[in-house]
Amino acid sequence: MFKLPEGFDVESKNRSLEEAPPEEVLRWAIEFFGAQLCMSTSFQLGGMVLLDMLSKLQRELPKPERVPVLFIDTGFHFPETLEFAKQVRERYDLNFITLEPVIEREVFKQIYGDDQLYFRNPTECCRINKVEPMERALAGYVAQVAALRRDTSPDRANIPILEKRTDGVFKLYPLARMTRDELKKYLMTHDVPKHPLHDRGYKSIGCFPECCTQPVGEHAPERAGRWTGTGKSECGLHLVGKQRQAQDFSI
């Protein structure tokens, strides 16, 4: 059972982490939260930077203590994403765990009439296929590392390095201060593989339906290709405990 040290203050710790390099933020998280820490990834630029950093840090740790890396297989990923995920698993000796929706695909079709809920209600589709699987998994951890950055969208412009959800789960964003160009430089310098769709105009990569992910070109805002024309900018994974009640995901 994880217990916070007496006198631990989130705001104070967040201030101390603000100027720390991402590797040091990640190292602190591993040492502080131990077996109660997990990382999530979608194998995009930031995710690959974090995976590379984690792989180097974990060489110092015995295998049973290695941080679980959670990937949500929504059932709607681009084939390129699934193939790239396979290649990354083969390259990095990390503790990858695949999460899946609680509703099987055929049952999903029976409930919603077809396989295209993403057109009619993309928020509900995300809730079922992305948010619920992650929330179910997070019930077993105290803290989650994710690759969110401040320069990707107005919704993320003020994210802290460390935050605490209303249900007590901690979120850590070691890359919050990094820019897209800095991510690319890291990938090149450290010979880290890059998702192939990034070179085809996809700046942010989600599920394959056009209403969810579109290529936008290098000079467009980073999340311009997500849910284009719907007014939606987030799947909801990072709104839990902030803009909606934590762990409220009954289906």
Quick: pLDDT tens for 241-251: 665 554 544 44
> How many Å apart are CA 159 and CA 145, to the nearest integer?
13
- H helices of 60-163, in order, are 79-91, 105-112, 117-120, 122-126, 132-138
What range does the domain containing 183 cover? Answer: 13-199
Residue 42: what pLDDT? Answer: 96
Residues 70-87: pLDDT tens digits?
999 999 999 999 999 999
> How many Å apart are CA 115 and CA 119, to the nearest integer?
10
Q: What are phi and psi of 223, to 5 degrees?
A: -105, 20
The alpha carbon torsion through 167, 41, 146, 153 (nearest 10 deg) reads: -110
Q: Is residue 248 part of a domain?
A: no
> How many Å apart are CA 206 and CA 77, to the nearest integer?
7
Q: Is residue 242 part of a domain?
A: no
Q: Sort strands 170-172 and 143-145 into parallel, antiparallel or unpaired.
A: parallel
Residue 63: what pLDDT? Answer: 61
Q: Is residue 5 part of a domain?
A: no
Residues designated as active site: 235
Q: Maximum CA pair distance of the chain?
A: 53
Residue 250: what pLDDT? Answer: 44
Q: Is residue 239 part of a domain?
A: no
Q: Is residue 159 part of a domain?
A: yes
Q: Sort strands 170-172 and 162-164 into parallel, antiparallel or unpaired.
A: antiparallel
Give the chain's domain count: 1
User: Is the Cβ–Cβ distance between 83 and 210 less than 8 Å?
Assistant: no
Q: Helix crossing, 22-33 with 45-57: angle to 10°?
A: 60
Q: Is residue 215 part of a domain?
A: no
Report the predicted TM-score, pTM, of the whole model to 2 decimal places.
Answer: 0.91
Q: Is residue 102 part of a domain?
A: yes
- CATH number for the domain harbouring residue 180: 3.40.50.620
User: Is the Cβ–Cβ distance between 49 and 183 less than 8 Å?
Assistant: yes
Q: Is residue 131 part of a domain?
A: yes
> How many Å apart are CA 14 and CA 8, to the nearest integer?
11
User: Is the Cβ–Cβ distance between 222 and 234 less than 8 Å?
Assistant: no
Per the structure block, which two tokens stand in for 62? Answer: 């015995």
pLDDT by residue, tens only, the chain of 251 residues:
788 888 899 999 999 999 999 999 999 999 999 999 999 999 999 999 999 999 999 887 666 568 999 999 999 999 999 999 999 999 999 999 999 999 888 888 888 888 899 889 999 999 999 999 999 999 999 999 999 999 988 888 899 999 999 889 999 999 999 999 999 999 999 999 999 999 999 999 999 998 899 999 778 888 888 988 887 888 888 777 665 554 544 44
The alpha carbon torsion through 56, 175, 239, 130 (nearest 10 deg) reads: -40
Task: Give the type of residue at 42.
Answer: S
